[in-house]
Amino acid sequence: MSPLKRSARLWSGAVTAALALTLAGTGQASAADVNNARNAGFESGLGNWTCSAGSGTTVSSPVHSGTAALKATPAGQDNARCTQTVAVKPNSTYSLSAWVQGGYTYLGATGTGTTDVSTWTPDSAAWKQLSTTFSTGASTTSVTVYLHGWYGQTAYLADDVSVHGPDGGGGTDPAPTVPSAPAGLTVSATTSSSVTLAWNAVSGATGYSVYRDGTKVTAVTGTSATVTGLAAATSYSFQVTATNAAGESVKSAAVSGRTAATGGGGGGTLPKHAVTGYWQNFNNGATVQRISDVPAQYDIIAVAFADATTTPGAVTFTLDSAGLNGYTADQFKADIRAKQAAGKKVIISVGGERGTVSVNDATSAANFANSLHTLMQTYGFDGVDIDLENGLNATYMTQALRSLSAKAGPSLILTMAPQTIDMQSTSNSYFQTALNVKDILTVVNMQYYNSGSMLGCDGKVYSQGSVDFLTALACIQLEGGLSPSQVGLGLPASTRGAGSGYVSPTIVNNALDCLTKGTACGTFKPSRTYPDLRGAMTWSTNWDATAGNAWSSTVGPHVHGLP
């Protein structure tokens, strides 16, 4: 739970680019408007398109619709710029859009005769639509539409480009036909309040609608969706349709999905909305506590921290009895049992500012799982918190956590506390690990502090210390594949708890209300609400006590009173 150290070069460039965007308003299309782009879906290879330095090609997977998509790879001083000259009418307004995936992607138009426009997105693991508008000048009959990536970044994918507006006379692609029904619908995961579905892509589809018991409940652009807000231990019937501009397909064959009896992905008997607090096994000037001193508002108590050993991947734990005023190991164990008898969970946290645990091969993964299971048996811990601030290997951390889960059983509590930069993209190793273990994951309490400005899910830059920072960054996780029941807001308990990013408990509660109920939002308003949001976390119960328990006495009841 330490100040963030990150690359200033990459993120200052991203922030500068984001702030430099010129976005136009949305125009109203008329009935005669068409898509003036040719080979907009790259079904004819790179026909009508020119890509710099041979950077572009077409691929058959993944695609947003149809059977092909553009893949362009930046290399050296080339940013993989792919362009098309599009015929347009003078004094007209056009909507420019494209579906993109992969690395940093930019979309824009030049030669408009008025104000040239562009928009962009950082790397995205799922298809995402970029869109803007432009107007043509009095003598403009063609514009150059472009896509490009960014230097040193990974390849980007693009599909279904549209320059929608008055017919410029350059011809258009054939009109779409109604797609066929999706095949291969399956239930890929369940929690006590959600069911995750997956299906095969449909040629020509630009989106999909999901039906629960005959009623449409959500629409997505990819080939998976998580239906939330469900009752525990209940069976539901699901169907999916494919959609595009021509209409909606017939419904797919139905599949049945039954929610779990309790918890999130993991979590045993935790309440629907929970508060997590870190308990310090050291004296750094905050109030020294025993586990028994932690207020009842805390549902999960994360003991900070386990220590690395000389064996790769293995960890141990030693109570700092001297620093904790003579607190003994026997008293510590008895206090853990008392908290558990009161319905609380006590877990061991691995990492922190000085955490040096490294899990980067099969041997260290096994050592990690075995040593943690030993600590659980020795002290009675309910599970583990992953707070590795110096990076992790998604492949072997996943392997280690699954091994621990197999040893500990379904009641294992598994939490994570990544830094903001770790959850900016699903391609980041921390985010990928969370998705890899989603079926056993209890909650990710991202640290919304010590981070400075970051991108929200809308591509805009937000500064820490505001409702918008909390909600727009939480949205990345909520829309990136985690169940709402697996997302929590991590904040300092006092100004002394972190170097920066402290917000008052009222701001925390406002962010919780914005995400769960759509009220008390700032300038950022989520496209939907997430009533199953798990709750909030703080560093630490000790700093909370130093401030008179103001954080837990304000945020705790609010979390427990959420819908």
Please identify every residue annotated as catalytic: 389
Widest Cα–Cα separation across the chain: 84
Closest by CA to 56, choosing from 34, 37, 75, 40, is: 75
For residue 64, which phi and psi values (nearest 5 degrees)?
A: -80, -40
Is residue 186 classed as helix, strand or coil in its secondary structure? strand
**Amino acid occupying residue 184:** G
Is residue 145 classed as helix, strand or coil in its secondary structure? strand
As given in the structure block, the two tokens for residue 144 are 């150059």
* Helix or strand holding residue 432 (H, E): helix 429-436
CA distance 540 to 496: 10
Give the 3-state secondary structure percentages of the chain, helix then strand then coil, rounded to 5. 20, 30, 50
**Is 94 within 8 Å of 164 (Cβ atoms)?**
yes
**Is 58 within 8 Å of 70 (Cβ atoms)?**
yes
- Which residues sit opposite 256 in a β-bridge? 237
Task: Give the CA count within 13 Å in the CB-facing half-sphere of 559.
Answer: 28
- Which residues sit opposite 298 in a β-bridge? none
CA distance 409 to 297: 26
Q: Are strands 195-198 and 142-148 parallel, antiparallel or unpaired?
A: unpaired
State the first-to-last Cα distance of the chain, in angstroms, to the nearest integer. Answer: 29
**Is 412 within 8 Å of 402 (Cβ atoms)?**
no
Cα-trace Rg, the chain: 25
**Is 178 within 8 Å of 244 (Cβ atoms)?**
yes
DSSP secondary structure, 464-509, as one string: SSSHHHHHHHHHHHHHTT--GGGEEEEEESSGGGSSS----HHHHH
Is residue 134 classed as helix, strand or coil in its secondary structure? strand
